[in-house]
Amino acid sequence: MLAQRVVTAVVLLALLIPALLASSPWPFAGLTLVLIAAAGWEWARLSGAPAAGAVATGVGVAAACAAAAAAGWSAREPSAGWWVAAAGWIVGGAWALRAGPAAWPRLARPLRWAVGPLLLWAAWLALAQAHRVGLNFVLSIFCLVWVADIAAYFGGRAFGRRKLAPSISPGKSWEGVFAGVAGVLALAVAWVTLERGSAAAPSLYARLLEAGGWAALVAGCVALAALSVVGDLFESLVKRAAGAKDSSGLLPGHGGVLDRVDALLPVFPVSLALASLPRG
């Protein structure tokens, strides 16, 4: 299992890094469109769609993303739409996690099916827009999610006592969440320190610092770290309601694409919302 995880991670990085560094935005957009199509297919399967419907969902999500990019939406500066997405994640995520896995199947199947493509479309559009802002900016968001996940894992393993959401993800603990937040705050401080004087586009952390000082940086990082947990738990809730361990077996050793991007789904739109705050 470990060997599979390592090989899969190396292959993904070998594809992602050149796409990120390309002078044109389209290699990155193309790669992420393939991944978003796979995630849409997985979501439809978890929602009980037949095989043809699942494939159509994946293709439809990718087509909707591509259409938005062709219309120039991915090149625009952050707008009020990202704040709507942020509010949706906060309210909807709180409701879903409070209701638990038992409540999810009671929603109408068309509604459950529609939620996934909408979330994937918004997340991809935010990702594409973040990439156009600059490599430093988009990497600062990716690293926030990765550090939150890694720090939470090791913090939970070392200190975890109080379960966070036992009916959804028994392995997660409040201590792990706190460790994830601490890891993100340390990352933000290190990032803004190292990027001072750089000619690169400001990172998300630098933008928060310019918008409201250290208070805004800390509050923003805490909120984003918490939302990464919400995204992870929400996907776990959907899988548990469907009786699935992984969203698919597309990524050997890692499960499915949704299993790898679940935390990114709320973080990218909300990061774009925070980046739109006026800078002083």
Residue 207 has pLDDT above 80, yes or no: yes
CA distance 245 to 105: 16
Q: How far is CA 169 from the centre of its chain?
A: 18
CB of 239 closer than 8 Å to CB of 13: no
Query: Could you tell me which residue, 163 or 199, shows the higher pLDDT?
Result: 163
1 pLDDT tier (thresholds 50, 70, 90) = low
Q: 37-41, 64-68, 76-80: lowest mean pLDDT where? A: 76-80
DSSP assignment string, 14-57: HHHHHHHH-SSSHHHHHHHHHHHHHHHHHHHHHTT--HHHHHHH
Mean pLDDT, residues 236-256: 91
CA distance 54 to 232: 22
77 pLDDT tier (thresholds 50, 70, 90) = low
Query: What phi and psi values does residue 251 have, to the nearest 5 degrees?
Result: -115, 95
Structure tokens at 178: 């706190």
Each residue's pLDDT tens digit, 3-33:
677 778 888 888 888 998 898 888 999 999 9
Helical (H) or strand (E) element with 131: helix 109-133
Q: Is the dihedral of CA 244, 245, 246, 249 positive or negative?
A: negative
Residue 278 has pLDDT above 90, yes or no: no
Each residue's pLDDT tens digit, 110-132:
999 999 999 999 999 999 999 99
Mean pLDDT, residues 32-49: 95
Query: Could you tell me which residue, 221 or 71, shows the higher pLDDT?
Result: 221
Residue 234 has pLDDT above 70, yes or no: yes
The per-residue pLDDT for 10 is 83
